[in-house]
Amino acid sequence: MSSAREADRPTSVSIVVVNWNGKAVLEECLASISRSEYPIQETVVVDNGSVDGSVEMLEAWCCPPITLLRNARNLGAPVARNQGIARALKSNPEFVFALDNDLTIAPDTIHQLVEVMRRDPRIAMAGALILRHDQPDVIFSAGHVINWTQNLVGTLGANRRLKGQFKGIWDVHYVGAGAVLIRTAYIREHGTFDEHYLGYGYEDTEYGFRASRLGYRVVCCAEAKVWHRPHSGIGRYSFRKKYLETRNAVRFIKKYGTIGNWSKYLFFLLAGFVYAFFREGLLRGNMPGVVGKMRGFMDGLWNRDELSHRLLNDQPRSKQMLENTRT
């Protein structure tokens, strides 16, 4: 009888949202949390030195109630997410749900993920099926696998219409940190996100892959849905984005790659440089992004962090710059 009552008891969940100049999308994200059918123990929002009015909006926010942590400058997503997780763990939830500010959740999303996790204690983290905000039936991500090409990863289902091809749960190497439920027992034993992945990308790749190598399951759940509304203060193909992205990819392969993995990665990377030079650089006028990609590769090889820290805090200087990043 007691075991039945235990099974019916709601599992405690806290949410961690990281924000950097995301006022344009953050309100919708928080509003979707307020509509969650699953009770939320605490919602922690970590602001990374925003200058777009985000903090003022958060200070006035009342539903759902939030715990606001403020950083004076942009420390990067992994550091901020870890700060939020550390705060959430103080109230001892059974799970932490990491959610990006440009995502909205369905009312039953957290309930679906909790049920998946409760059925198998070997699952360290479960991710939602991410759909496009502007085309709600088009898949943005159904989880990721490591393929060791120039971007190191492949995204399942990307840009395909959702027609029932994904059902139940399936194992992946990692799920994006934008919408993932993590078991706190796993966090306490094996730690949080690697903060050496400065600024943008691959910290979630490493986190999920690490769990897989430790023998845990990382799964994606078709019944748990979120919608991605693209918004990035870091730019679509900017020097900053491509530099940080490539630098972090190199850090990942230096940690986990074999000689065979390196050979495959370098082959695709060199071809990618040539393709990017002509397509992005010459045809689209995105040469700074191409240069950022090359510089990121070199600095990743040599473990140089100085430029990464500077780029993180290169705040947009005008409203127009902020608008240009919303593509």
Q: Give me the count of residues in the chain.
A: 327
Instruction: Please provide residue 302's backbone torsions phi and psi, each rounded to the nearest 5 degrees.
Output: -100, 10
Cα–Cα distance between 22 and 322 in angstroms, integer? Answer: 10
Q: Is the per-residue pLDDT at 273 higher than 80?
A: yes
Strands 144-146 and 13-19, how do they pair? unpaired
- Could you give the 3-state DSSP secondary structure of residue 278? helix
In the chain, pLDDT over 90 holds for what percent of residues?
Answer: 81
- Dig out the tokens for 213 from the structure: 């190598």
Q: How many CA atoms, within 13 angstroms, populate the side-chain half-sphere of residue 108?
A: 7
Cα–Cα distance between 289 and 295 in angstroms, integer? Answer: 10
Q: Which helix (H) or strand (E) holds 141?
A: strand 139-141
Residue 46, CA distances (Å) to 29, 86, 263 in order:
14, 11, 39
Confidence at residue 11, expressed as pLDDT on a 0 to 100 scale: 79
DSSP 85: H
Residues 134-181 pLDDT 10s: 999 999 999 999 999 989 999 999 999 999 999 999 999 999 999 999
- Dig out the tokens for 292 from the structure: 């950022």
C-alpha of 112 from chain center = 19
Strands 13-19 and 95-100, how do they pair? parallel
Q: Is there a contact between 37 and 108 (Cβ–Cβ < 8 Å)?
A: yes
Task: Name the least confident of 35-49, 261-275, 277-291, 311-325.
Answer: 311-325
Which of 185, 176, 32 lies closest to 110 in space, CA to CA? 32
Q: Is there a contact between 218 and 208 (Cβ–Cβ < 8 Å)?
A: yes
Q: Is the dihedral of CA 229, 233, 237, 242 positive or negative?
A: negative
Confidence at residue 315, expressed as pLDDT on a 0 to 100 scale: 53
Question: Predicted confidence band at 257 (pLDDT cuts at 50, 70, 90)?
Answer: very high
Task: Name the least confident of 126-130, 278-282, 315-319.
Answer: 315-319
Across the range 117-128, mean pLDDT stands at: 97
Confidence at residue 62, expressed as pLDDT on a 0 to 100 scale: 82
Residue type, 145: V
Question: Predicted confidence band at 55 (pLDDT cuts at 50, 70, 90)?
Answer: very high
- Could you give the 3-state DSSP secondary structure of residue 140? strand
- Dig out the tokens for 50 from the structure: 């925003």
DSSP 44: E
Q: Is there a contact between 45 and 66 (Cβ–Cβ < 8 Å)?
A: yes
Q: Is the per-residue pLDDT at 200 higher than 80?
A: no
Residues 63-90 pLDDT 10s: 889 999 999 999 999 999 999 999 999 9
Per-domain residue ranges of the chain:
2-228, 239-324
Radius of gyration of the chain (CA): 19
Which of 23, 29, 68, 72 lies closest to 49 in space, CA to CA? 72
Question: Predicted confidence band at 317 (pLDDT cuts at 50, 70, 90)?
Answer: very low
Q: What is the pTM of this model?
A: 0.90
Q: Is the per-residue pLDDT at 3 higher than 90?
A: no
Confidence at residue 155, expressed as pLDDT on a 0 to 100 scale: 96
Cβ neighbors of 19 (< 8 A, separation 6 or more) are: 26, 45, 46, 47, 48, 50, 54, 58, 101
Q: Is the per-residue pLDDT at 326 higher than 60?
A: no
Cα–Cα distance between 208 and 145 in angstroms, integer? Answer: 10
* Domain 2-228 CATH assignment equals 3.40.250.10: no
